Structure 1
Amino acid sequence: MQLIGLWALIAATLGPFQNVLGWSISGALVQGYDPISKTISDLAADDSPVKWIQSSFFLAGSVLTLIAAFSAKSLALPGRVALFLAGISGFGYTYFPTALVAPSPNWHVIFATIAFVLFSAWPLLSMRFDKRYHWSLRPLAAISATLVMGATTLWFLLTWLEPGQPIVGLSERVIAVMQVLWLSFVIWSQWLHQKKGAPETAPELAYGAKN
């Protein structure tokens, strides 16, 4: 059984905090900023007074995602690759911030969309069938998580790409928090599961040892 490494556990612990703290601190420093109608990307835009603060949190989140991709070996390899590419996409949408005049192509939107889609797909791609793995990595939970996060991501993208939507900031925060919390939950759950030694599978292991 592939195991969760210590660095993945650290990333899973820090991830949700840095995610929420980033846009909470940055938003609080901008007078009149409305987190319901304004996106997190607006805080890192070219004309934002807190551009470098929010950008630093974007970069921190990307680094933590890469750490999880490398160290959470309980996840099936395709899922780890998806997380790795999502982390790289984070560097992309940070390097190409929201501009006063949207360029063509809009690289910020492209990289952000890739990141959100990959973060929705990784549970399905990380799926394990072996009962030695925690239930959150097995088919029912993995498929359900991808369906729920996929639908929520679609909701956000539709509001984001349609000008004037009054809840685009809310929809982004819902999916951003949902995605990082699920990743942290899976990593922590699998780590605790492997610490217990997955006792419910002991008979299977014993049978396998005799053969």
Structure 2
Amino acid sequence: MRLASVLSSTCALVLLVGGWTIAGHLQGPGYDPVTQTISSLAAEGARDRWLMTSAMFAVGACHWITAFGLRAAASTGRLALICGGTATVLVAMTPETSTGAASVRHAAAAGAGGAALAVWPMLAAGRDPFTPWGLRPVISAAATTFLLAGVAWFVVSVQVHTAAGIAERVLTTSETAWPLVVAVSALGHAGRRSTVPSGGDSPR
């Protein structure tokens, strides 16, 4: 299951970045990734909107798989990651209008997803001395602090209409990359533990 989490979290990151890169290219020169959000790539009337929509559905599903496989993480953190994945799917199901306006459901899903994916590292932290480094309390708290700062940056960027596209890309990339970091640390930790003798005297 640890390997499945590594694979699913890797796919999530590739699908997200690859999705907005290709979808943005297909929009032509009229699309500005600095100021326009990812959601506009899946908005009603967007060219080949199915591409970004499908990517968001897949990213959400990947978060579910990752959460189920991260047995080393605390249950509350895994649940928050599942909620983040579910919110990502709901964002895909409630696209912006052709004028760029976001519905209440779209905004609520995006907000809930961003918050859940920001706080899950801290909620997933373990207290066991054998906890993988990616789930240790100090590192997890630092990750959540960084991600919440990214959420704040995005919210401010949307309100003042400046660089919202960049802020969202930094935030979503960071939020999607952290499950991969945790999954890799859990896989590496399991490998190291399996090489440690379970008992007996050390060789003289």
Counterparts of 1:70-81 in structure 2, within 5 Å, are: 70-81=68-79
| Pair 1:165–1:198, CA change in 2 (3 A) | farther
Q: Tell me how far 1:85 sits from its aligned partner.
A: 0.9
**Partner Cα distance (1:13, 1:93) in 2:** 21
The answer for unaligned runs of 5 or more in structure 2 is 200-204
Aligned residues, how many?
198
8 A Cα contact 1:132 1:198, kept in partner: no
Q: Tell me how far 1:113 sits from its aligned partner.
A: 0.7
Residue in 2 aligned with 1:122? Answer: 120
**Partner Cα distance (2:108, 2:114) in 1:** 10
| Pair 1:192–1:167, CA change in 2 (3 A) | same
Q: Does 1:13 align with 2:10?
A: yes
Residue in 1 aligned with 2:23? Answer: 26
CA-atom RMSD in angstroms = 2.0
Residue in 2 aligned with 1:209? Answer: none
- 2:57 paired residue among 38, 56, 59: 59
Q: Which amino acid aligns with 2:140?
A: A
Q: Tell me how far 1:166 sits from its aligned partner.
A: 2.4
Q: Tell me how far 1:198 sits from its aligned partner.
A: 7.2
**Partner Cα distance (1:59, 1:110) in 2:** 17
**Partner Cα distance (2:74, 2:19) in 1:** 30
Q: Deviations over 1:70-116 (max 9, x none)?
A: 1111111000100111111112111110113747x611111011001
**Partner Cα distance (1:178, 1:80) in 2:** 17
Q: Tell me how far 1:131 sits from its aligned partner.
A: 2.0
8 A Cα contact 1:42 1:48, kept in partner: yes
**Partner Cα distance (1:125, 1:196) in 2:** 25
**Partner Cα distance (1:102, 1:175) in 2:** 21
The answer for unaligned runs of 5 or more in structure 1 is 207-211
- 2:177 paired residue among 169, 174, 181: 181
Q: Tell me how far 1:122 sits from its aligned partner.
A: 0.4
- 2:165 paired residue among 143, 166, 169: 169
Q: Identity across aligned pairs (percent)?
A: 28
Q: Tell me how far 1:13 sits from its aligned partner.
A: 2.1
TM norm structure 2 = 0.90
Residue in 2 aligned with 1:150? Answer: 148
**Partner Cα distance (1:16, 1:165) in 2:** 26
Residue in 1 aligned with 2:66? Answer: 68
8 A Cα contact 1:113 1:157, kept in partner: no
